[in-house]
A and B are shown apart, each in its own frame.
Chain A
Amino acid sequence: MKIIIALVLIFCWCNSEGQAVLVQRNTEVYVKRNSTLEVRESCLYQINNSHYAHEGKISIPYVKGNTKLLTAEIQDLYGNTIRKLKNKDLIIHNNFSSDAFHADDMVMEFDLIWHEFPYRIKYSYEYSEKDYMYVAYWSPYVKPNLSVESAMLAIRHPVDYEVYMDYDDRLKHEFSIAEDERVDYWKIEDLPGIEGRESFGSPVEELIPVVAVVPAQFDYGVKGALRSWSDFGQWIDQLNVGLDELTSIEKNTIDQLVAEVEDKREVVRTLYHYLQDNTRYINVDIDFGGMKPYSATYVCENKYGDCKALTNYMKAMLSYVNIPSYYTLVAAGENQRRVNQDFPSQQFNHVILMVPLEGDTIWLENTSKINAFNYLGTFTQNRHAFMVNGVNSQFVKTPALKREDCLTVDKYHYTINSQGNGKLHLKRALKGPLFEDYLYMKENYNSGDLHDYFSQYLDIPKSELMEWHFDSVGRDSDHLPVNLDFKVRDQFHHVAGMKVLSPQVLNMNLEEPGERKSPLRINYPINNVDSIIYEIDDLKKYSLALPASFEVESKFGRFELSCFHEDNKVIYVRRFELYMANYPLSEYKEFYHFIHTIKTFKKGSSTILTAL
């Protein structure tokens, strides 16, 4: 029988579209004759209800004596001023980032919040810059989650000021030339907002339309050009020149460390361990600190630095023992926007070191005190990185995590009585991303925090974690085993008089195909094998209905489940794999069905015990 549903709606939401909108954004960039950049930014938002009032918390870059706030006010829908911001409502402070210990850049903050909806907020400001690597790196969004009604970028520059540009086709581009100036315009209208990253989706940064304009020649710390990647590499080399000097004490230490070591690979390993044990990551970002490393001498003395300083120092140490290595820029991140190789420009956020040895290339992540030697991991694996080597600078591919590098083996062994009470021993042998997470926690969490983490995230129903320990492995090991002992209770599920064992179902929430917006990106292989042993007292007093074996395979991956009975044990073995790959949005539906098939089957994979 169908239940008749009576719907009485007293109030409905209006279409969720546009509860706050960026009505108009104008960015004007003016490259002056002396190459100084003048930027004028103006934004007009409409806030339609109180949930979006916080969009009126504005933060803009601030340079003393340079940034000028031109307007900041609340308006009604007809553009009449309701309230103007007062100077005393401005807050200026250092820009805090989780990454930098200290940074010298400042921000100006103010609130434009009102209580009668809808209202508009308008602000504009200007600033100038002498040192820059981008004339513009612009997207119509201020925040990608807010839709944009209309946005425009205009760049005016002398005709003989050469630039390179790269922009998304969704933006309409025009230009005009008058006398000795050229003006380029990009416009876009009615651009919907983008919610966060979807499951196995590409990063939000790749979905945003961007205009990037770089000068053919620039001066940022030292003079450089961007006609080719080789230009860019030479500029980095220039920036780093003379920074590779080690102190004499350091040289002595290195001599002692490698005195007995013959093999080159072992020399690299020894020095990498020395780096890991004696330095730490501290990022002090002042002046050109975003691009120019602190010298090796600085690291020798302080024993700290950021990725550039530590990599440059590691390079200097290797160079001292006559092992050449290359400072290699990379766009790091587990799910990072890809570098556009057709557009020579600064697109990187991290530096690693590439050490080519005969027949083998070693990769070093110099900011980690715990990474295994020659282990890049999810942060920098499988991507085009830019190896800096003067005119011969070029892209090189970092090694990819392979399926065997990501294998996680879980062994659950329950020993329970007929009430479902007893214990569980879980052994996890971890590699790949889980190995990275657990290793980090092992080294950085105290035992109480770890206990809480395991209790919470392993999410084993009706259990209490009693004790746990990591097996000891060598420091350069790429795997980590952990053993956990739980007390468990009430593990049988009672439904309609049936006594049921139901292994946990893998939780993977995917957007429904109709709602999916981004293509599918599986950044590294997923490769899990688990076995579950239920060792049950009195099992012989029951007849068992076991689930049938099951296997499904597709181009995305595969899943297998088998269940059998042995003495007083019910044993499940499951394997789940997803292959590292990219698929267009059109194939998402197939992927969704593949995962759905697995989920549906897993749900039906219970064992029923019937008393004899």
Chain B
Amino acid sequence: MRILFVIFLTALLPACLWAQEHTFSREFTEVGDPEMDMSIYDKDPNAEAVILFDIGVSEFLDETYNIKFVRSKRIKVLKSSGVDYATVRIPFYKDGYGKTEIVRNIEAYTYNKENGEIVKKSLNPKSIYEEKINERWNVKKFAFPDVKVGTVIEYQYELETPFHFNLPDWQFQDVIPTVYSCYTAKMVPFYEYIYIAQGIRNFDYHHSEVSKIKRKYGSVSKSYGQNIGSGFEFFDYVHTYAMEDVPAFKNEGFITSMDDYIMKIDFQLAKFHSPQGGEREIMTTWPELSEGLYKNEHFGKYIKSSQKQAKKLLEEMSLGGLGETAKAATLIEFVRNQFTFNKIFTKYAHQSAKDLVDKRLGSSGEINLFLLSLLEEAGLEAYPVILSTRSHGKISADYPFDHFFNYVVVMVYADGKSFLADAVQNFVPFHRLPIWCINGRGLVLKEMPAWVNLENDMPSYLTVRLNTDLNLNELEANYFVTVQTTDYEAFEYKYNYEDNEEKLTNAFLKDGFKSVKSMASFNYGKNDKPYGISFNATSELGAINAKIILSPFLKFPIQENQLHQKNRTYPIDMVYASLRKYEALIGVPEGYAVMALPENYKLNNELVYIDVNYVNEGEVVKVNASYMFKKSIYQPEEYPKVKEYYDEIVKRFNQQIAFEKQAQLVGVK
């Protein structure tokens, strides 16, 4: 659960006093018996290590107003697996245009108790290694010496950053428990930030005050107490946030990413007050966010600059005579077919449009913004829509924070209607978004930005047909199988297996087949038609005494109810509505008869449709089963019902049927 605060840091809060007793030292390089002698962390006896303190201070330097961030952290190792926390990585950033972050003054100490004495060992600076991760990111890393169960380690470093957008954020929580975590941000009046606190209801300590230290901007010269210089004097605003006894972050499953849930505060630059007078809003409203993006060289300016390339490409195409929708469809298909996605999810474009067109390889931002340009150049009305992909988490606040959004698609107006388009993938019809985009709402960047719903209740279809023959000699079943899919069901197959025979074969083997052969597929590239796969297969048959046992649909239907909890406080996200149909046509072997068949079942209400039907025609047995969850999102109060429906589906779609030998009629008189 994410709780958001937005507080303007310039508004001072009443100071609260906080002088709670604590057992462990919070001073860097001051280590005492309590931390050395502890062998277990009472509040989490299973903890392999515990963070005794984690203290960060950010402040603005004189003259450059670069941000200096100093961090000190102390960890106690409690179990042998806890020694893994005794290596440190400090990443730092270069923008590629000469600005760079600098990491300096790394100090690190190891404390062990030997014969009752605390022995301190310092890190050899030669053992600090620097590595290049990519063109932008480098990392400094080191391993503490002499670490074993019982050791206390601590380190401190300074990071100087010229990037005012990146006031260091702070995580109060880690995968091991934290005794004390404290962050101080000393703000200058020129930069105004807002922050979001995630997962935190109340800070254990939160204090804001005006610093007593006078600072100067520019030249200040005093005459009778009055400044007659061109500069002025100011004081820092000091904000402190602290948490105590923060439990280890446990990944409970069914979450998008740890980053979405861990207790932390994120800062975002909101305003710049120029020391020369006047102020510049960095961002406060949706229209400004939109305007900001349009002015951004990696977004709006990229759209503009891609016009030339778009024009050139259009010249080579013949769109004459096409209506608006057909024209849009042609262009979307064109970009989908011609441009390859490099798997970088972003709303920005970093390479030039010319490079994109030359290479035909780009990020999601580059491809979709280029599509936008192409549509506009072809005379269509189109707007960028920014959104957060499913793995990037929800846009959970009504705050115009740029970093909530990591993807861009296009809203297209054609023939008096509008639809959302994406050219990064080629798995769904041209007017549909890929599954990763189906995540709440997106923001249409018009003069007055507006929200658009990304969810879609139009059902997708999956149909699995199995024509089955039983081979009793080998105790095998032979099948001819067809799988037909539309929309998002098709997306799943196309995205996961890429129409690759080997990948599909492996997937079908997991569905319970023993061998899969003569596979064929159709309509892979034709997204407006159902995508189909057909193949021949065999599976092993079961036997109980002399009876032959068959699961009509093998493991195609869902095998286990994934909903385990009794209740749920958050909605059930089905992503999309879908009708799944399974049909088996089973030839009864000669001399055999099918034994009693399971009951038929039917349920149809506003939430779900379930239908299971068995027909014994003597020589063949037909089994048809289908279900549809009619909504893409179910509310928590509907959870118990949904859970029960899944129980029924798991049970009824996986029932086996049996065949037994018929008594031979010999010489009736």
Contacts and interface: CB of A to CB of B under 8 A. Distances in A.
B361 A111 contact: yes
Contacts of A13: 501, 519-521
Contacts of A445: 81
Contact of A280 (B147, B359, B544): B147
Contact of A600 (B81, B475, B524): B475
Contact of B543 (A93, A94, A604): A604
Nearest to B252: A448
Contact of A102 (B81, B86, B129, B339): B129
A304 B145 contact: yes
Given A101-B141, A280-B83, A301-B146, A83 B359 contact: yes
A2 B620 CA distance: 9
Interface in B505-519: 509, 515, 519
Nearest to A5: B480
Contacts of A7: 480, 534
A5 B515 CA distance: 18
A492 to B, nearest CB: 12
B256 interface: no
Interface string A256-295: 0000000000000000000001111010100000000000
A7 to B, nearest CB: 8
B619 A1 contact: yes
A115 B521 contact: no
A2 B148 contact: no
Nearest to B474: A600
Contacts of B81: 443-445
A284 B509 CA distance: 43
B361 A113 contact: yes
A552 interface: no
B548 to A, nearest CB: 10
Given A83-B358, A113-B361, A443 B80 contact: yes
A603 interface: yes
Interface residues of B, number: 77
Does more than half of chain A's interface fall in helix, strand or loop, or is it mixed? mixed
Contacts of A102: 129, 131, 141
Contacts of A277: 80, 148-149
Contact of B340 (A50, A282, A303, A493): A50
A212 to B, nearest CB: 31
Contact of B547 (A89, A93, A496): A496
B360 A16 contact: no
Contact of A9 (B79, B338, B520, B658): B520
Given A277-B148, A500-B544, A302 B127 contact: yes
Nearest to A302: B145
B520 A91 contact: no
B635 to A, nearest CB: 26
A322 interface: no
Interface in A583-612: 599-600, 603-604, 606, 608
Given A10-B523, A303-B147, A448-B250, A115 B587 contact: no
Given A3-B467, A93-B134, A284 B519 contact: no
A111 B351 CA distance: 14
Given A51-B499, A301-B146, A2 B587 contact: yes
B143 A446 contact: no
Contacts of B340: 50, 53, 113-115
Max chain B C-beta neighbours (<10 A), residue from A12, A496, A600? A496
A94 B131 contact: yes
Contacts of A448: 250-251
Contacts of A83: 358-359
A367 to B, nearest CB: 13
B604 interface: no
B498 A496 contact: no
B135 A2 contact: no
B549 interface: yes
A101 B87 contact: yes
Nearest to B546: A604
Contacts of B468: 3
A497 interface: yes
Interface in A83-120: 83, 89, 91-94, 101-102, 106, 111, 113-115
Interface string B261-275: 000000000000000
B132 A9 contact: no
A303 B146 contact: yes
A101 B86 CA distance: 12
Interface in B109-148: 127, 129, 131-135, 141, 143, 145-148
A304 B83 CA distance: 11
A469 B444 CA distance: 54
Contacts of A603: 540, 542-543
Given A278-B148, A600-B475, 14 more contacts: A3-B587, A3-B620, A5-B467, A11-B524, A83-B358, A92-B132, A94-B133, A113-B359, A115-B338, A282-B143, A443-B80, A493-B656, A599-B540, A608-B544
Interface of A: 1-3, 5, 7, 9-13, 16, 50-51, 53, 83, 89, 91-94, 101-102, 106, 111, 113-115, 277-280, 282, 284, 301-304, 369-370, 443-448, 452, 464, 493-498, 500, 502, 509, 512, 545, 599-600, 603-604, 606, 608
Top 4 nearest A-B pairs (CB, nearest first) are A496-B595, A496-B658, A10-B522, A302-B145
